[in-house]
């Protein structure tokens, strides 16, 4: 019998890595929405809906809408009790005019970026500050020393990384320990269709005490089932967004993938979930995943996504998902390095 536990929709909280910090297992992210696709009033309504449904953790980055997304989130959270929130942001990609030092993980860019992020977010500290990619052009020792100083200054409570390989995580973790702080998280892409972290990154993180905060658990919307093989994408969907969404989703828009995704509908129906809820619940079955990042352009989407919280899929459901998707799943651990920038992006 395929199915899920009856407790979905009640927010649960998980420890982030080997730390005492608890975060909501559904975390609200504002990539590709705030400051670009969604007007500020709608973005604020989505944040309020997230708070109303038990989400306490909010993830952003300075590069989103070239710093505008941080400002929108700061305004939306204004007046909330700061101690009840976990606010995450990131540093690496170019910001501002994109000058020679407006990018990467140099000490200069990190120290200037944290100050800018705190100002836009209207807070004295972030709970988690993340290296948005690995910087091949800055000594790792320089990067980790800057993070150590930010932690000691109280501007960030914890440090994480995003889309680092297992070897990069291991090297960063060792330096962090030498400097007296700890890496506690990794933020990779992870979904039923994109499982490249399972063979190397997840075992390494489990060994070292890091959790995953996964982005794109619904594969840019493909796992909702709204994209049909042989049909044009629905008007207004991410696949039609020329501001970046269409590029990000393109890898999943093949008919063979879309046909396989349609086979998930009976699995979702049997479990009493929507396709999106099934996808979010699936990533949360991984013990090393602390949270699934979800975005929204409407408050109703937040309400629906939160129903995946607390859901436990049974073994039959997990097998049925694997059977439905078959060989369209990407598992190659080398894809993390392949998709990483080979040098700083100016």
Which residues form the catalytic set? 64
* Contacts for 229-237: CB closer than 8 Å, 24+ residues apart: 229/255, 229/256, 229/258, 229/259, 229/262, 230/255
Say how far apart CA 92 and CA 103 lie, in whole Å: 6
Say how far apart CA 110 and CA 59 lie, in whole Å: 18
Q: What is the DSSP string of 207-253?
A: HHT-EEEEB-TTGGGGGGT-S-TTSPPPTTSGGG-TTTHHHHHGGG-
Say how far apart CA 185 and CA 151 lie, in whole Å: 15
- What share of residues in the chain are helix, strand, coil (percent, to 5)? 40, 15, 45
At residue 70's C-alpha, the angle toward residues 68 and 74, to 5°, is 120
Per-residue tokens: 145: 């020393």
Q: How far apart are the first and last CA of the chain?
A: 53
Asked if 264 and 324 touch (Cβ cutoff 8 Å), the reply is yes
Paired strand residues for 183: 159
Phi, psi angles (nearest 5°) of residue 91? -140, 140
Say how far apart CA 182 and CA 144 lie, in whole Å: 10
At residue 139's C-alpha, the angle toward residues 126 and 93, to 5°, is 50
Asked if 30 and 50 touch (Cβ cutoff 8 Å), the reply is no
β 22-24/13-15 pair status: antiparallel
Phi, psi angles (nearest 5°) of residue 341? -65, 135
Say how far apart CA 76 and CA 35 lie, in whole Å: 12
Phi, psi angles (nearest 5°) of residue 183? -75, 130
């Amino acid at each position: 019998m395929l199915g899920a536990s009856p407790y979905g929709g009640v927010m649960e909280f998980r420890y982030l890595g080997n730390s005492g910090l608890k975060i909501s297992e559904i975390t609200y992210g504002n990539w590709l929405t705030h400051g670009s696709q969604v007007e500020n009033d709608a973005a604020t309504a989505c944040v309020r809906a997230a708070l109303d449904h038990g989400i306490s953790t909010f993830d952003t980055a300075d590069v989103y809408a070239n710093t505008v997304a941080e400002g929108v989130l700061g305004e939306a959270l204004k007046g909330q009790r700061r101690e009840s929130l976990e606010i995450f942001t990131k540093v690496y990609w170019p910001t501002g005019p994109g000058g020679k030092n407006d990018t990467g993980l140099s000490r200069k860019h990190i120290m200037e970026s944290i100050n800018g992020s705190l100002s836009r977010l209207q807070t004295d500290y972030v709970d988690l500050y993340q290296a948005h990619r690995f910087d091949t052009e800055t000594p790792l020792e320089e990067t980790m020393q800057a993070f150590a100083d930010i932690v000691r200054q109280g501007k960030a409570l914890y440090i994480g990384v995003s889309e680092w390989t297992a070897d990069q995580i291991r090297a960063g973790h060792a330096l962090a320990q030498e400097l007296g702080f700890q890496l506690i998280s990794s933020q990779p892409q992870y979904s039923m269709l994109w499982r490249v972290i399972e063979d190397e990154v997840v075992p390494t993180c489990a060994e070292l005490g890091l959790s995953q905060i996964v982005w794109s658990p619904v594969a840019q919307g493909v796992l909702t089932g709204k994209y049909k093989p042989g049909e044009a994408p629905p008007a207004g969907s991410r696949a039609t967004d020329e501001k970046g969404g269409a590029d990000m989703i393109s890898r999943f828009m093949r008919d063979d993938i879309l046909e396989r995704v349609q086979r998930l509908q009976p699995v979702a129906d049997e479990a009493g979930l929507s396709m999106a809820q099934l996808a979010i619940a699936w990533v949360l079955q991984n013990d090393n995943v602390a949270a699934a990042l979800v975005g929204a352009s409407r408050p109703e989407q937040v309400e629906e996504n939160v129903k995946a919280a607390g859901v436990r899929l049974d073994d039959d459901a997990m097998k049925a998902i694997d059977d439905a998707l078959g060989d369209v799943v990407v598992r190659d651990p080398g894809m993390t390095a392949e998709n990483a920038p080979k040098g700083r992006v100016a």
